Chain A
């Protein structure tokens, strides 16, 4: 008998926390599968992430509210392409932690900026608030209940890639800010309702999975 722990590859394949926190949609996942697999992509993953997110931040700072719908479209496409590839093309393992915050930053900044070009920042604030609920819940449900959201909810939420594209479509058809408010309300309501239902199921089943320690620095 050897008292060693099986290496990671031999244990059942659960998605890593970082992969769950990314909140990829179908498009991003497809890009990762098609272009990012097994390190085939010639550009380092961290460079892709920084180029994708950095472009959005730079455009938001310098082009700002005056950006044209076309420029926004190009920026959204660039973000989806670069960051999408990294869903299958990860940086060195000790840097995996840097991926989810960059994806969040890119997504939220893109939403805020494209809303700003239509003078709809409050609507973007509402949508981002609804999204923060979804995203914090991704973390906490994994930590406390060892669960990931059901497939239908992920499809409904459309992933970060789907959301920036939908937001751009709403911008292009001139539906901002009203549509964004409605979207925020619906997404928030569905997310909260699903979470409440999931907690009820969990409390009835009294599962044991998951850990819930107060980890320093993030339990606050």
Chain B
């Protein structure tokens, strides 16, 4: 049923043969100019070119059909690297036409990527080889991508708005790193949207031109602000790749001088010119806007802490060559196998060592599902030990439960590290987690009865409370996903996205100022917001205080904390204490999460 594909680097997973998310075609866009009018994709890289490196990586990922789009001026150079796989177009309209034609052919999935992207092969593989992402984009939030990439807004694993030289994003959350995977099923959507964009690119609407002008000012101010900060932030934020809502596109309203009054350093001025020359050639970003605006489900893969850059000068390419050497790819992969959304206990008491168990398991060739099953068996043993009702049993059960929990973290990290994701695996993981927890409830209650202190009622209450809490999570999440899916996208002619249109209309209604290009960089007037929204904003704002985010996570009583409570209270006290603590903390978590959700539902 499956055939093994092996690759260098981290241990590789089996890929199902009929995989609907498989990618067979790559469209490489080598059109961006670098400093001095050279082709950015042809910048030197380790004795060869950036484009050569990328084509090599695509080949190693098993993509046989590679087409390189370029401009007449770069054709000769590109042909030297890419041979006869080159297609020439005069303008972006031609690129989009070629994409539309390629997407219109029958075949497996395709990937669109700029020829000047320098990243780890694992970053490409993370998107192209992940069966969970059908059609998707590689996103990042690091400092480098903030400077050099167009932004997107993503929510619940889906890109809901994207920027391009001609399109703006309202309240962006991260940056699009240029790599766009389109599954076979979405090829018609890509063909249709790229064809439409091609017509528009040939005669750009007024809004598109205004947006490009706005971006020029925005980047000028961005470079100025960065120079004011002395670039310290760069070091600190480099590896940080957590989705964040404060990744704002336009905080530059009135801090500092107007764009035309800014005097940049010669280096910054040169960088701005490079960026301005390259930006209107960013066909990939435009293609992403087309897909998102046509309502296609574009999923999200994150860069994690891997390397990414798009150099626009030989100097920048040489810098990138030095910086990429500092990356220990295996360590980065292992570190980023840890789920970013885990709770406090899991992050600080389990993940620091479970990732090494995951690597060990990977090298021994264990599959995530085997580890999941072992975890359930250990959970059974823990419940059986609890059921003895003796002190030694409670202590042994506590220890076994922690071992089971660690094993449970290992399976997910192993899956992410080796990219062996499967739907069955995800199902087993979730259902076995629940089973372990409730089995331990049963074990503790049986043990307590044996010890002469029956706690069945408390156990029943804990079981009911936890299930109700989970169902609140499930249906709240499903509701949000549904809202995202039902959002109407403006046509691609419009520069503003749905959020931007709504904000502009709101301002126009309030008579604040006319909805023009300048207006949208202003913050929304806070006084107009209803109470529920203001409370929510303040609630999000305090996340920036140190430790607050972890406190909030703990208050929601996630699985790591629950298992820790069970182990500690059972080992030190008795099952009655365990259930009372579970009910008290769980009850607090209900009040806490419920108030947040009710506020959000009122605000909507």
Q: A21-B471, A99-B475 are in contact. Are A16 and B482 (CB under 8 A)?
A: yes
Interface residues of chain A: helix, strand, loop or mixed (majority): helix
What are the residues of chain B within 8 A of A214 when measuring CB–CB?
Answer: 339, 341, 412, 426
Say if the beta carbon of B539 comes within 8 Å of chain A: no
Q: Which of A35-43, A76-84, A124-132, A168-176 contacts B (4 or more CB under 8 A)?
A: A124-132
In the complex, which of the residues A16, A17, A132 contacts B467, with contact meaning CB atoms closer than 8 Å?
A132
Q: Nearest-CB distance from A12 to chain B (Å)?
A: 13
Q: Is the CB of A125 within 8 A of B460?
A: yes
What are the residues of chain A within 8 A of B318 when measuring CB–CB?
Answer: none
Q: Nearest-CB distance from B305 to chain A (Å)?
A: 18
Interface residues of chain B: helix, strand, loop or mixed (majority): helix
Q: Is the CB of B601 within 8 A of A105?
A: no
Say if the beta carbon of B290 comes within 8 Å of chain A: yes
Q: A5-B488, A219-B430 are in contact. Are A145 and B423 (CB under 8 A)?
A: yes
Q: Is the CB of A5 within 8 A of B467?
A: no
Q: Is the CB of A217 within 8 A of B295?
A: no
Q: Is the CB of A136 within 8 A of B192?
A: no
Q: In whole angstroms, what is the CA distance A125 to B192 when docked?
A: 56
Q: In whole angstroms, what is the CA distance A7 to B193 when docked?
A: 19
Q: A139-B474, A212-B426 are in contact. Are A97 and B601 (CB under 8 A)?
A: yes
Q: Is the CB of A144 within 8 A of B463?
A: no
Say if the beta carbon of B431 comes within 8 Å of chain A: yes
Q: Nearest-CB distance from A16 to chain B (Å)?
A: 7
Say if the beta carbon of B364 comes within 8 Å of chain A: no
Q: Nearest-CB distance from B367 to chain A (Å)?
A: 14
In the complex, which of the residues B132, B426, B477, B486 contacts A5, with contact meaning CB atoms closer than 8 Å?
B486
Q: Which of B468-490 contact A (CB under 8 A)?
A: 468-479, 482, 485-490
Query: What is the total number of residues of chain B having a CB less than 8 Å from a CB of chain A?
Result: 74
- For B491, give the chain A residue with the smallest CB separation: A3
Q: Nearest-CB distance from B151 to chain A (Å)?
A: 20
Say if the beta carbon of A100 comes within 8 Å of chain B: yes
Query: What is the total number of residues of chain A having a CB less than 8 Å from a CB of chain B?
Result: 59
- For B300, give the chain A residue with the smallest CB separation: A213
Say if the beta carbon of A18 comes within 8 Å of chain B: yes
Q: Nearest-CB distance from A24 to chain B (Å)?
A: 14
Interface flags for B301-341 (1: CB within 8 Å of A; 0: not) read 00000000000000000000000000000000000000101
Say if the beta carbon of A95 comes within 8 Å of chain B: yes
Q: Is the CB of B456 within 8 A of A144?
A: no
Q: Which of A97-119 contact B (CB under 8 A)?
A: 97-101, 104-105, 108-109, 112, 116
Q: Is the CB of B134 within 8 A of A208?
A: yes
- For A21, give the chain B residue with the smallest CB separation: B475
Q: Nearest-CB distance from B341 to chain A (Å)?
A: 4
Q: Is the CB of B445 within 8 A of A213?
A: no
Q: In whole angstroms, what is the CA distance A104 to B132 when docked?
A: 30
Q: In whole angstroms, what is the CA distance A218 to B474 when docked?
A: 6
Interface flags for B63-75 (1: CB within 8 Å of A; 0: not) read 0000000000000
- For B339, give the chain A residue with the smallest CB separation: A214
Say if the beta carbon of B96 comes within 8 Å of chain A: no
What are the residues of chain B within 8 A of A220 when measuring CB–CB?
Answer: 343, 433, 558-559
- For B437, give the chain A residue with the smallest CB separation: A132
What are the residues of chain B within 8 A of A108 when measuring CB–CB?
Answer: 463-464, 467-468
What are the residues of chain B within 8 A of A44 when measuring CB–CB?
Answer: none
Q: In whole angstroms, what is the CA distance A215 to B21 when docked?
A: 20
Q: Is the CB of A101 within 8 A of B469?
A: yes
- For A17, give the chain B residue with the smallest CB separation: B478
What are the residues of chain A within 8 A of B559 when measuring CB–CB?
Answer: 220
Q: In whole angstroms, what is the CA distance A108 to B459 when docked?
A: 13
Q: Is the CB of A140 within 8 A of B482?
A: no
What are 18 of the A-B contact pairs (CB < 8 Å)?
A3-B193, A4-B490, A94-B602, A94-B604, A96-B479, A100-B472, A108-B464, A108-B467, A121-B456, A128-B463, A132-B434, A135-B467, A136-B470, A139-B474, A213-B156, A214-B339, A218-B470, A220-B559
Which residues of B are interface residues toward A (Cβ below 8 A)? 16, 18-21, 132, 134, 156-157, 185, 192-193, 196, 290, 293-295, 299, 339, 341, 343, 412, 421, 423-424, 426-427, 430-431, 433-435, 438, 441-442, 445, 449, 456-457, 459-461, 463-464, 467-479, 482, 485-492, 556, 558-559, 597, 600-602, 604
Known: A3-B294, A4-B488. 9 other contacts (CB 8 A): A17-B475, A92-B601, A98-B601, A105-B468, A112-B457, A132-B434, A132-B467, A213-B156, A213-B299
